[in-house]
Amino acid sequence: MRKLGCFLLMLGVLGFCGCDRKAPPQSVALPEVKGIKVSLLPYNPAQVVIAEVKASDEVNLVARVEGFLKKRYFHEGSRVKKGALLFEIEPELYQAKVKAAQAKLTRAQVAQKNADTDYRRQRQLLSTKAVSERTFDKVEASKLEADADVKSAEAELEIARKNLSYTRITAPFDGVIGLSNYSEGNLVNAGSGTLATIVKNDVMRVEFSVSELQLLRNLKQKKNAIDNFKFELITQDGKVYPYAGKVSFWDNKVNTGTGTFLIQAEFPNPKGALTAGMFGRIRMTLLKAPKGLIVPLESLAVDQAGEYLYAVSPDGKVSRRNVTIEYRGKDFAVVKSGIKAGDVIIDAGLQHVRPGAKCKVQLHDFKISKVARAGGKQ
């Protein structure tokens, strides 16, 4: 019994000593995330808007005099040169009117010559008191009337010649002519409407609109600011047209109904690839790319308070940074405020961290894609 008591006493002492001993501390593994060091990088805040292709010049050919179409001198859809004869209206009637007007002018000129001779004679006689002033006044009035008849006849002849010239309808510029709405033998006049349409397509106008916000942000309401932009046309097949455009017109006010600002750019069309009525997109990019604080889109989070980033201090502590975004590209954003160059932000593994906690950051390089750097997605 004595031995059993000693044994139990020793077990109690050992148990007491074991309860008083502290367990060795166990290390907690920090969550691993990926991040970048924010820096100033060049980017191009592109604007891509819907655009419509229009002819640089377009004329509806109409008849200015009445008559039967005698001849059509072009093939529909062909190119025509400036001054080329396109339509001819029967000229015989107008040729006759020119002859009649010429004859009337000749008669008026003969009468004017006689009136001038009589006027000079009567003026000499008046100086010697051989005729009365009343008789001289009548002769002088006849002379003035003859002068007026000549001027009237000259005007009638000019009108007759103009009308004769209108029987020949010519191309006002180099271009492509469309379908003829009238055939040879049809009677046409000023009320007949369009005989055919000719468009100038060696240079095409592309018309588009930018929003009022884009205007204020990028053009700054200064005409010379438009020269700082490059204009590219993206056709419906997604290809970039090989020639750059140059602004030929921009409106003098914002459309209050749509809140947009109208701009037109001219594009060379030497191969005729562009046709009036086409639709595409205009991409406006700055010739000199600005720099900004670039972050990946994946690094941004949003809640009711707005957009924010998770920044990591040198000791690994996570903090929330509320940010304002100045521009958003295809795979990046430009931060206006909330961070500065040199800050480390998390762009992968956001779900594993929270403000105030610590983490382990694996830094990597973030580069804007060439498309994004050149102005975003086509």
pLDDT given at position 21: 54
Round to whole Å and give the CA distance between 274 and 181.
24
357, 360, 323: which is closest to 35 by C-alpha?
360
Out of 74-78, 103-107, 211-215, 332-336, pick the least confident.
211-215
CB atoms within 10 A of CB 201: 22
pLDDT given at position 378: 39
pLDDT given at position 63: 96
pLDDT given at position 285: 81
SS3 at position 143: helix
pLDDT tens, 6-27?
A: 444 454 544 444 445 555 555 5
Can you point out the beta strands (E) in 141-228? 168-170, 175-177, 187-188, 194-211
Out of 202-211, 222-231, 248-257, pick the least confident.
222-231
Round to whole Å and give the CA distance between 346 and 363.
9
Enter the tokens of residue 106.
């000749």
Do 276 and 54 meet the contact criterion of CB atoms below 8 Å apart?
yes
- Residue 1's pLDDT band, with cuts at 50, 70 and 90, is very low
> What is the phi/psi pair of residue 66, to 5°?
-95, 140
- The dihedral built from the CA positions of residue 265, 269, 273 and 274, taken in this order, carries a sign that is positive
| Residue with the larger pLDDT of the pair 374 and 179 | 179
Domains and CATH numbers, the chain: 32-44+290-373 (2.40.420.20), 48-56+196-286 (2.40.30.170), 91-165 (1.10.287.470)
Round to whole Å and give the CA distance between 134 and 146.
19
Helix/strand/coil percent split, the chain, to 5: 30, 35, 35
Three-class HEC string of 158-182 = HHHHHHHHCCEEECCCCEEECCCCC
pLDDT tens, 252-262?
A: 888 888 888 88
Q: Is the pLDDT score of 374 beyond 60?
A: no
pTM value surpassing 0.75: no
Give residue for tokens 């749509």: 258
Q: Cα 262 vs. chain centroid, distance in angstroms? A: 7
Do 211 and 260 meet the contact criterion of CB atoms below 8 Å apart?
yes
